[in-house]
């Protein structure tokens, strides 16, 4: 009997991470959900099981190396292998003039959005090598390929994810590991709602930036991530896939 594939998803408690977990589960992939919030994480696990696959939750702070090590070890202990990873955990930045931004906010955003991706790959890749290969998708953003005023730290963090992705992709390609990034535009998630909260003008601006005329739903980005992880994208490597409703083309 063929063994089911296994994926780790960081930031899998809501939004794009949750939608990707469900999408993969529908294709028979067992899922380990990693996040800091157990209640929401376990809710995602239930959705995974409802979709027909096995799931588990591991409480994880992606900025802590011991947490990431434990995440990968616990997932492998339960499922016996690691085929896919979606390094999706990230935090946003409130719009603030650069000169008014604080060092502790800089450290927090870079630690979660950049160090978290680096640590995740550091421990995921060896397990994938043991199994003969795998696929990783790192969460970037259109913020990784363009600028936006009053959000320089977040923008810098998403540019950095692309550098990590390209470098790691080149290093491990010959070992059968494909590493790519996804770069969404605005998506209807809790994070986007926090950024736009109390600022209807910003909401209108973000929507109008998308030539398609709307922001994305999490499931639309989940389908892109699922494709990048799947055997349908076996010649795609070190790539940043824009799922941005046309923002960058404009």
Tell me the per-residue pLDDT of 162-207, one tens digit each, with 9 for 90 and over: 999 999 999 999 999 999 999 999 998 877 777 667 667 777 887 8
Q: What percent of the chain has pLDDT over 90?
A: 88
Whether the predicted pLDDT of 17 surpasses 70: yes
* Confidence at residue 208, expressed as pLDDT on a 0 to 100 scale: 87
Which is higher by pLDDT, 94 or 21?
21
> Torsion-angle region of residue 145: left (phi > 0), alpha (psi -120 to 50) or beta?
alpha
pLDDT value at position 196? 64
The per-residue pLDDT for 43 is: 97
Alpha-carbon distance of 189 to 243, in angstroms, equals 15
| Token code pair at residue 182 | 């996804």
Tell me the three state secondary structure of residue 4. coil
Whole-number pLDDT of residue 188: 87
Please identify every residue annotated as catalytic. 154
pLDDT tens digits, 137-168: 999 999 999 999 999 999 999 999 999 999 99
Convert the pLDDT of each residue in 47-70 to its tens digit: 999 999 999 999 999 999 999 999
- For residue 1, pLDDT over 70 is answered with no
Percent of the chain residues past pLDDT 70, beyond the cut = 96
Res 201: pLDDT: 74
What are the tens digits of pLDDT across the range 21-39? 999 999 999 999 999 999 9
Residue 75, pLDDT > 90, answer: yes
Task: Quote the mean pLDDT of the chain.
Answer: 94
pLDDT at position 198: 64
- Find residue 139's DSSP bridge partners: 182
Q: What is the DSSP annotation of 146-191?
A: S--TT-HHHHHHHHHHHHHHHHHHHHHGGGTEEEEEEEE--BSSHH
- Nearest to 48, CA basis, from 36, 30, 72, 71: 30
Give domain 6-243's CATH superfamily: NAD(P)-binding Rossmann-like Domain (3.40.50.720)
């Amino acid at each position: 009997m063929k063994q089911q594939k296994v994926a780790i998803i960081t930031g899998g408690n809501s939004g794009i991470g949750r939608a990707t977990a469900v999408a993969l589960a529908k294709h028979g992939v067992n899922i380990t959900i990693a996040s800091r919030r157990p209640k929401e994480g376990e809710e995602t696990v239930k959705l995974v099981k409802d979709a027909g696959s096995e799931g588990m939750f591991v409480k994880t702070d992606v900025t802590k190396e011991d947490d990431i090590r434990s995440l990968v070890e616990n997932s492998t202990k339960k499922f016996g292998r690691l085929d896919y990873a979606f390094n999706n955990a990230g935090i946003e930045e409130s719009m603030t003039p650069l000169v008014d931004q604080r060092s502790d906010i800089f450290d927090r955003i870079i630690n979660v959005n950049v160090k978290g991706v680096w640590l995740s790959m550091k421990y995921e890749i060896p397990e994938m090598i043991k199994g003969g290969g795998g696929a990783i998708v790192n969460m970037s953003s259109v913020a990784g390929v363009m600028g936006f005023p009053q959000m320089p730290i977040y923008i810098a963090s998403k540019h950095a994810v692309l550098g990590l992705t390209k470098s790691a992709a080149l290093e491990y390609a010959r070992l059968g590991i494909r590493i790519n990034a996804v770069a969404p535009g605005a998506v209807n998630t809790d994070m986007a709602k926090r950024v736009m909260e109390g600022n209807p003008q910003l909401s209108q601006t973000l929507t109008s930036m998308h030539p398609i005329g709307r922001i994305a739903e999490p499931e639309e980005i989940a389908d892109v991530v699922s494709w990048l992880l799947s055997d349908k994208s076996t010649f795609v490597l070190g790539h940043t896939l824009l799922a941005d409703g046309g923002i960058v083309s404009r």
